[in-house]
Amino acid sequence: MVDELASGERRPLARLLTRIENGDPAVRELLPELFAAGGRAHVVGITGPPGSGKSTLVNALIGEWRRRGKRVGVLAVDPSSPYTRGAILGDRIRMMEHAADRDVFVRSMASRGELGGIAATTWIAAAALDAAGYDPVVIETVGAGQSEVEVARLAETTVVVEVPEMGDEVQAIKAGLLEVADIIAVNKGDRPGADRAARQLRAMLSTAGGRVERTPPPVMLTTATTADGVAALADAIEAHRDRARTPAAARDRAVNQVRRALADVAGRRAADSPAWEEMVVAVADRELDPLTAAERLLDREGR
Amino acid sequence: MTDTPIRVLIAKPGLDGHDRGAKVLARGLRDEGFEVIYTGLRQTPEMIADAAEQEDVDVVGLSILSGAHMALLPKTVQLLRERGMDDVLVAAGGIIPDADVTKLKEVGVAEIFGPGTSIGQIARYFREHVKRP
């Protein structure tokens, strides 16, 4: 399987990504091989509020990376409707100029019910792109809810894309979005207020606590539509790569990945448990609290 | 796995700039539970086939109102088949005369949805005719 991926053929990779997205049990068996074959690609998260120009910026970055001889993989995640389970996957539309380029692979993914905005299978899809030889692998998500935190856990380098009209400082210091940034790109840099927005962010970040033992992230100006500032952004992403691969950082990512996988596995096993219904009814009747219910479900499954 | 969402690519081949129908359809299909990727305007058959291949979609919907459908749609179907996408359901919509409908069906366009078709009809058709492994 990994050989097939490394061949650069698109169809096997595309078919595998579908099986990954659909939770095909066969994928579970491939996972050790897939994970072991990875670890090479620089996983770059791109997040930020809707309308900040993320997809256009990713498109410009693809162009720059291709000029540098890289093969680029992109997972563009958009939210699924919690009611209809449908989704508009609207990121690819900005990247169609690269559609025919055999060294660019763009895959749109719906979040499929994950509250964090990323699909539960995004990390496996990223591993598949990694195994197929794409480097960097970009994960693009909308920074709404806590999805920016999710993508930061997955990615080695997280770029937060802001807009000049981000408003006064109060907006910008909302917890989460700026704290997860390794690099901040103020996009639409040709708009009035762009320089000031960048200055405000720099000032705020130099005094903020955020993640411990970190130098504040660089704040860069970009204009994705003209590719202005994009080469410098690509340089900054590259420069961060080494800092992202220290043993401490790798350990942090591993902790988050294992925790996440644990929650997925435990959740699925509990829901499949014959005691599920009984526990749910007991909680609904307030005879049992949810934590005790959860512990009992795990105990009965024997972990 | 039988109730995994159906993935649809909605594409605008050629120089046709009328995208309201495609966008309305995209939103409507989302409300019907489909995952919809919209390519935007001015796509070549190659770009559409390449996108469909990477996205591994179940359905390719081609929206065209410019009259160039005979020049573009058969080519798109051919490129899809060349890329090994034999099971993808290809449908078309827009302004396509009845005489051309027959010809298009002969080259592999499964159905043509003209003006007046409801989103519900299209959604039902896709659900009934999508090939699932």
A150 min Cα distance to partner chain B (Å): 22
In a domain, B34, yes or no: yes
Query: Cβ contacts (< 8 Å) between B46 and chain A: which residues?
Result: 99-100
Least confident piece of the model among A27-41, A141-155, A257-271: A141-155
pLDDT bin (cut points 50, 70, 90) of residue B1 is very low
Cβ contact (<8 Å) for A86 and B35?
yes
**Which of A33-42, B69-78, B89-98 is the least confident region?**
A33-42
- Domain presence at residue B69: yes
pLDDT in tens, B87-118: 999 999 999 999 999 999 999 999 999 999 99
| pLDDT above 90: residue B129 | yes
Put simply, the answer to whether A80 touches B36 (Cβ < 8 Å) is: no
Return the closest-CA partner of residue A73 out of A51, A48, A95, A93.
A95
Q: What is the CATH number of the domain that holds B111?
A: 3.40.50.280
Q: Where are the domains of chain A?
A: 2-243, 257-301
- Tell me which chain A residues have a C-beta less than 8 angstroms from the C-beta of B30: 81, 84, 86-88
Domain that holds residue B56: 7-121+125-129
**What b/e string do you get for B12-39 counting C-beta neighbours within 10 Å, with b at 16 or more?**
bbbebeebebbeebbebbbebbbbbbbb
Position B1 in a domain: no
Mean pLDDT score of chain B: 94
Ranges of beta strands (E only) in B22-126 are: 35-38, 59-64, 89-94, 111-113
A and B: number of Cβ contacts within 8 A:
84
More confident position, A69 or A299: A69
Output the pTM of the full model. 0.90
| Higher pLDDT pick, B121 / A48 | B121
Residue A72's closest CA among A136, A155, A7?
A: A136
Q: Which of the pair, A225 or A39, is modelled with greater confidence? A: A225
Average pLDDT value for residue range A145-163: 78
Per cent of chain B over pLDDT 90 is: 92
Rounded to two decimals, the ipTM of the complex is 0.94
Residues A117-133 have a mean pLDDT of 87
Check if A88 contacts B (Cβ < 8 Å). Answer: yes
3-class state of residue B17 by DSSP: coil
- Residues in B whose CB is inside 8 Å of some CB of A read 1, 4-5, 26-27, 29-40, 43, 46-47, 50-51, 53-56, 83-84
| CA gyration radius, chain B | 13
User: For A2-243, CATH number?
Assistant: 3.40.50.300
Would the pLDDT of B6 be above 90?
Answer: yes
Q: What are the angstrom distances between the C-alpha of A287 and each of A23, A270, A293?
A: 35, 19, 10
- Closest CA of chain A from B7, distance in Å: 9
- pLDDT at position A113 is 79
Amino acid at A102: R
Please, what's the b/e burial string for A125-157 (b: 16 or more CB within 10 A of its CB; e: otherwise)? Answer: bbbbbbbbbbbbbbbbbbbeebbbbbbbbbbbb
What residues pair up with A107 in beta bridges, in sequence order? A75
Q: Which residues of A touch B54 (CB under 8 A)?
A: 10, 14, 99, 105-107
Pairwise CA distance, residues B111 & B122, whole Å = 10
Whether the per-residue pLDDT at A195 is higher than 80: the answer is: yes
Indicate whether A171 pLDDT > 80.
no
Nearest CA in chain A to B48: A99
Whether residue A166 is predicted with pLDDT greater than 70 in this model: the reply is no
**How many folded domains does chain B comprise?**
1
Contact B1 A93 (CB under 8 A): no
User: Among A224-233, A266-275, B58-67, where is mean pLDDT lowest?
Assistant: A266-275
Q: How confident is the model at residue A95 (pLDDT cuts 50, 70, 90)?
A: very high
Whether residue A149 has pLDDT greater than 80? no
Residue B47 lies in a domain: yes
Residue B28 lies in a domain: yes
B36 domain residue, yes or no = yes
Q: Which of A75-84, A210-219, A259-268, B120-129 has the lowest mean pLDDT?
A: A210-219
Which pLDDT band, with edges at 50, 70 and 90, does A142 fall under? confident
Phi, psi of A163 (to 5 degrees): -120, 155
Residue A54 pLDDT exceeds 50:
yes
Out of A134-143, A269-278, A281-290, B103-112, least confident range: A269-278
Task: State the pLDDT confidence band at A151, using cuts at 50, 70 and 90.
Answer: confident
Q: What is the pLDDT of residue A213?
A: 54
Q: What are phi and psi of A226, to 5 degrees?
A: -110, 0
pLDDT in tens, A242-257: 888 888 888 888 888 8
Going by pLDDT thresholds of 50, 70 and 90, the confidence category of residue A271 is confident
Q: Which of A7, A18, A88, A93 to mutate to test the interface with B (most CBs of B within 10 A)?
A: A88
The answer to whether residue A18 neighbours chain B at the CB level (below 8 Å) is: yes
